[in-house]
Amino acid sequence: MAKTIFHAADKRGHAKHGWLDAHHSFSFADWYDPTKVHFGVLRVLNDDIIDGGMGFGRHPHDNMEIITIVLDGTLEHKDSMGHAQQIVPNEVQVMSAGTGVTHSEYNPDPNKKTNLLQTWIFPNKKNVQPRYDQKMFPAEDRVNKLQTIVSPIDNNDEGMKINQGAWIYRTTLEEGKSLAFNFHDKNNGAYIFLIDGKVNVGDQALNKRDALGISETASFEINAGAKSDVLIFEVPMT
């Protein structure tokens, strides 16, 4: 029998800092919920809306795999490795912080908000050389199928590489369509985050920004009750 945990969208942590409207799936900054510290090695899933012309000043990270997915608008990134790049919808950014990196994130468009998802995954190797990568993943390549956007560093697939035995998939499921998911490892779990739409995973209904953690099973199926945009994190649970 699969083990599941449901995280309703309206039960996420919420912080409004003027220019930043942030929702936290897991304990972050001043918001702490002892039942929502992490899901396996998935430590952070923040849903941020940044006002035009605003952003995060330069700040440090180390020993974390940081993945940023822009849903709307533009994000400008600058870091201590010398990168200065913009990220737009359907692009994904991966930064292995390793021994230490500083970066800033900024919405360069004064007239439009930027909505992004930022996730942190604990690495399986500490103090690696910091690394940056960025890649476009066309929306048409994930309709009714899994699009691998992040995968382990030793995997030869289209995913951007991280120092962990974890995968991130994105799919756009059309209404009435279903998708079967099979785990790479029986000890992994999946955190299903519904960006938009309406799906069912077994008996559990998910609406926009709801999430479901599922583990102790070999597979599951997602059924779309409306056109849906879904993120799936497959991660080691220990």
**What is each CA distance from 189 to 31, 178, 204, 225, 229, in whole angstroms?**
24, 20, 16, 24, 20
Average pLDDT score, the chain: 97
Digit-coded pLDDT (tens) for 91-114: 999 999 999 999 999 999 999 999
Report which secondary-structure segment, H or E, holds 45: strand 42-50
> In this structure, are residues 96 and 163 in contact, taking their beta carbons and an 8 Å threshold?
yes
In a 10 Å sphere around its CB, with 0-12 CB exposed, 13-18 middle and 19+ buried, how is residue 109 labelled?
middle
* Residue environment code for 214-231, b if the CB has 16+ CB neighbours within 10 A, otherwise e: bbebeebebbbeeebbbb
* Confidence tier at 1 by pLDDT (50, 70, 90): confident
Digit-coded pLDDT (tens) for 200-216: 999 999 999 999 999 99
Digit-coded pLDDT (tens) for 136-145: 999 999 999 9
Which numeric CATH code is attached to 3-236? 2.60.120.10
- Token couple for 105: 């994130």
* pLDDT mean over 223-237: 98
pLDDT at 135 over 90: yes
In DSSP notation, 198-216 reads EEEETTEEEETT-EEEEES
* pLDDT mean over 183-194: 97
Q: How far is it, in rounded angstroms, from Cα 197 to Cα 174?
A: 10
Digit-coded pLDDT (tens) for 37-79: 999 999 999 999 999 999 999 999 999 999 999 999 999 999 9
Q: What is the pTM of this model?
A: 0.97
3-state helix, strand, coil in the chain (%, to 5): 5, 60, 40
pLDDT, position 17? 87
Q: How far is it, in rounded angstroms, from Cα 177 to Cα 144?
A: 7
Q: How far is it, in rounded angstroms, from Cα 210 to Cα 222?
A: 14
